[in-house]
């Protein structure tokens, strides 16, 4: 298990040595828990309340390279001092299958905090999708009017102030030359070479290559057909080349094209970073296999088992995901929604009153008190030189007051503010969502599930709603896995009975979830 360490200190209340102390604790934590540290990211004299942390942002970017699985911090306030920022950046790491671990704290966060982050992440995704729908509606309207919908404009055209397409008289001849060269028998490679030697560039300002040339040769806009998604509007664009030339090129392209490789459907494994092997505690990730009938099946398998270091068998992807989704939906009763809503609002209000805000408010009160005393002293002092000195001090304190007021405003703006109506509406939407919608399924998992441990004979679920574990002792998993490593021939009736047994077992084990208020 590979990991990196992130450390930072603030010049206001910490010393340079604190970095070394953080690194020492993080390395000790990694050694105790079997993590291999492959790098360090360190920000010096930078507050966690700001996004302007060069090494932090570099770490977020590097996570996309899949070189590490975990980020270890001294404690969670080193990662971020604000739950909203924490949720956003953890969500970015989670998309790259990277988790944040705290060296000094036994759990990643308290139960309410985890739920807040899960909700923030899910709400951000929900409202992002909602915004995306509005944007798409606007683009659809523009498309109906044959206007530019944004993005890169095809070579040979330009867009005027009314968003209408016009011919670019300087670039249009390049398009004509490309079509004529290909129709005359020139290959794509030869055309690219000629264009690049003559210094021509694509609409993006880069050299031509095979992909950019094929896109041009297939683009119907050059014969005046406006295209948007699956819609085509004849004479919706100004024409650059003739129909005869365009369709002659299409015939040649069709004859020269080779049979494309069949695209394989990409399965989304929504329990990744949540599902762990009960035997070796390693993460379980997605795999696929083909049965005797040629059908592709998808599974979760222990990463150590893939390397023959663990004998945990694979578990059917759809089965375990559907089971978890069903259990998450059961949490969203009206009573539980009310309880969660109140707790989240209360927690956000408590977090507004953080230590840094208190410190700034106290400093501001002290400065104002000093100002009041100095003003009183000026009124009583009769010595001109002393009064001038007091005026100078009052002026300095005025500047300090302005500075503290600005800092306080910035600190308060960083706090999360969510209304009861917003949270209740969102949770109700989650309750009534489409169980087959992938975005909805991911939102449920990220909000309510902390970890799931799979054994051969039992399943342990840890929900974000509390620190208790739900353990299901059942023969289900061993029954399923005993068929074969890939369970290709599992009978439908067997699966149905197995599902029923596990649902009953989980219902019996989930008594602590009936009243969420007892978990906070």
Domain ranges of the chain: 2-108, 145-256, 275-332+425-519, 355-413
Indicate the average pLDDT of the chain.
76
**DSSP H or E stretch at residue 470:** strand 469-473
CA distance 289 to 273: 21
pLDDT on residue 193: 92
What is 2-108's CATH superfamily? Resolvase, N-terminal catalytic domain (3.40.50.1390)
Of the candidates 177, 188, 306, 182, the residue with the CA atom closest to the CA atom of residue 249: 182
Low-confidence ranges of the chain (pLDDT < 70): 10-17, 45-52, 81-85, 105-135, 257-266, 348, 350-356, 378-379, 382, 384-387, 410-418, 465-520
CA distance 388 to 516: 64
pTM: 0.41
List own/partner pairs for 234-242 with CB under 8 A and 24 or more apart. 236/146, 237/146, 237/157, 237/165, 238/157, 238/165, 238/166, 238/167, 240/156, 240/167, 240/172, 240/175, 240/176, 241/175, 241/176, 241/179
pLDDT on residue 52: 63
CA distances from 252 to 178, 246, 298 (A): 14, 10, 41
**DSSP H or E stretch at residue 233:** strand 231-233
pLDDT on residue 14: 45
Architecture category of domain 145-256 in CATH: Alpha-Beta Complex (3.90)
Q: Which two tokens stand for residue 419?
A: 């209304």
Helices (H), 414-457: 420-431, 438-448
Of the candidates 423, 477, 448, the residue with the CA atom closest to the CA atom of residue 327: 448
Q: Is 311 exposed, middle or buried (0-12, 13-18, 19+ CB in 10 A)?
A: exposed
**DSSP H or E stretch at residue 488:** none
């Amino acid at each position: 298990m590979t990991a990196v360490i992130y450390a930072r200190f603030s010049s206001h209340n910490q010393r340079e040595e604190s970095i070394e102390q953080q690194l020492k604790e993080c390395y000790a934590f990694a050694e105790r828990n079997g993590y291999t540290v492959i790098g360090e990211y360190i920000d010096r004299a930078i507050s966690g309340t700001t996004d302007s942390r060069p090494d932090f942002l570099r770490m977020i970017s590097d996570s996309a390279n899949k070189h590490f699985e975990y980020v270890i911090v001294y404690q969670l306030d080193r990662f971020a001092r604000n739950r909203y920022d924490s949720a956003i950046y953890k969500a970015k790491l989670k998309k790259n299958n990277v988790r944040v671990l705290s060296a000094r704290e036994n759990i990643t966060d308290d139960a309410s905090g985890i739920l807040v982050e899960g909700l923030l992440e899910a709400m951000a995704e929900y409202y992002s999708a909602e915004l995306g729908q509005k944007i798409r509606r606007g683009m659809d309207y523009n498309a109906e009017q044959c206007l530019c919908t944004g993005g890169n404009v095809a070579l040979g055209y330009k867009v005027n102030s009314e968003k209408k397409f016009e011919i670019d008289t300087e670039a249009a001849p390049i398009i004509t030359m490309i079509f004529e060269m290909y129709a005359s028998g020139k290959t794509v490679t030869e055309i690219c070479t000629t264009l690049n030697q003559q210094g021509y560039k694509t609409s993006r300002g880069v050299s031509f290559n095979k992909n950019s040339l094929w896109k041009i040769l297939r683009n119907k806009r050059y014969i005046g057909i406006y295209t948007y998604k699956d819609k085509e509007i004849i004479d919706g664009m100004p024409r650059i080349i003739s129909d005869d030339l365009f369709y002659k090129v299409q015939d040649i392209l069709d004859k020269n094209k080779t049979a494309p490789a069949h695209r394989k459907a990409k399965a989304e494994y929504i329990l990744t970073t949540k599902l762990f092997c009960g035997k070796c505690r390693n993460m379980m990730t997605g795999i696929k296999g083909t049965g005797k009938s040629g059908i592709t099946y998808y599974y979760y398998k222990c990463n150590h088992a893939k390397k023959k270091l663990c004998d945990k068998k694979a578990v059917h992807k759809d089965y375990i995901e559907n089971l978890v989704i069903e259990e998450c939906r059961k949490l969203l009763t009206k009573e539980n929604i009310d309880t969660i809503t109140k707790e989240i609002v209360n927690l956000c209000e408590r977090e507004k009153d953080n230590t840094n805000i208190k410190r700034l408010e106290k400093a501001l009160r002290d400065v104002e008190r000093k100002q009041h005393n100095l003003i009183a002293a000026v009124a009583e002092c009769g010595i001109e030189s002393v009064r001038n000195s007091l005026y100078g001090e009052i002026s300095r304190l005025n500047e300090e007051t302005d500075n503290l007021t600005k800092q306080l405003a910035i600190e308060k703006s960083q706090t999360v503010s969510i209304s009861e109506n917003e949270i209740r509406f969102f949770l109700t939407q989650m309750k009534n969502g489409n169980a087959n919608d992938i975005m909805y399924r991911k939102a449920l998992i990220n909000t309510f599930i902390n970890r799931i441990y799979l054994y051969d004979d039992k399943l342990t679920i840890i929900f974000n709603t509390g620190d208790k574990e739900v353990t299901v002792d059942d023969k289900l998993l061993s029954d399923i896995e005993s068929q074969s490593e890939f369970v290709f021939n599992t009978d439908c009736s067997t699966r149905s009975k197995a599902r029923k047994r596990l649902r009953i077992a989980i219902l019996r084990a989930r008594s602590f979830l009936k009243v969420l208020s007892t978990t906070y």
